[in-house]
Amino acid sequence: MKNINKNFILTLLSLLAFTNIQANPTGKELFIQKCTSCHSINMPKSQKDLHAPPAVGVMFHLNNHFDNNEDLIAHIESFTMNPTREKAICKSIRRFGIMPSQKGKLTKEELSLIAQWLANDVFITRSKYKRDKKAMFDN
């Protein structure tokens, strides 16, 4: 009887832990769930199957364009819900066109978590970019 109770309690705790993870997803989890049907996170080995630019490529250009994360995050949030050619920073719109609006597909809270994850975890730092760019042109 003790084993049945222990197993039941362990199963219940596992279910509660899984439910909590699903109820409070991270920005990365949301990106994988909501964005990877078009955007990969990293550069793929072959670009022929791309439907949209990879997150690392987008973040490379956004980090080069914006001086701080607040403006970068605000741009991601604005562009994702109301994408226009005028707002586009990445040159990849020539290849992929303007992404469709995500209104009704993402909540503001979900988009905020995704944008914060992109800005803080999927990036090439501005200082690293500037160092690498300087090194490219110094040779």
pLDDT of res. 36: 95
Contacts of residue 29, Cβ cutoff 8 Å, sequence gap at least 6 = none
Residue 119 has pLDDT above 60, yes or no: yes
pLDDT tens digits, 47-96: 887 899 999 999 999 999 999 999 999 999 999 999 999 999 998 999 99
Q: Is 3 helix (H, G, I), strand (E, B) or coil?
A: helix
Which residue in 52, 104, 55 sits closest to 76, CA to CA?
55
What is the pLDDT confidence band of residue 46, given thresholds at 50, 70 and 90? confident
Calculate the average pLDDT of the chain: 82
The Cα–Cα gap between 43 and 124 comes to: 13
User: Can you tell me the distance from the alpha carbon of 83 to that of 76, in angstroms, rounded to the nearest whole number?
Assistant: 9
CATH code given to domain 26-138: 1.10.760
Q: Where are the domains of the chain?
A: 26-138
List of long-range contacts for 13-22, beta carbons under 8 Å, 24+ apart: none
pTM summary value: 0.73
Q: How confident is the model at residue 99 (pLDDT cuts 50, 70, 90)?
A: very high
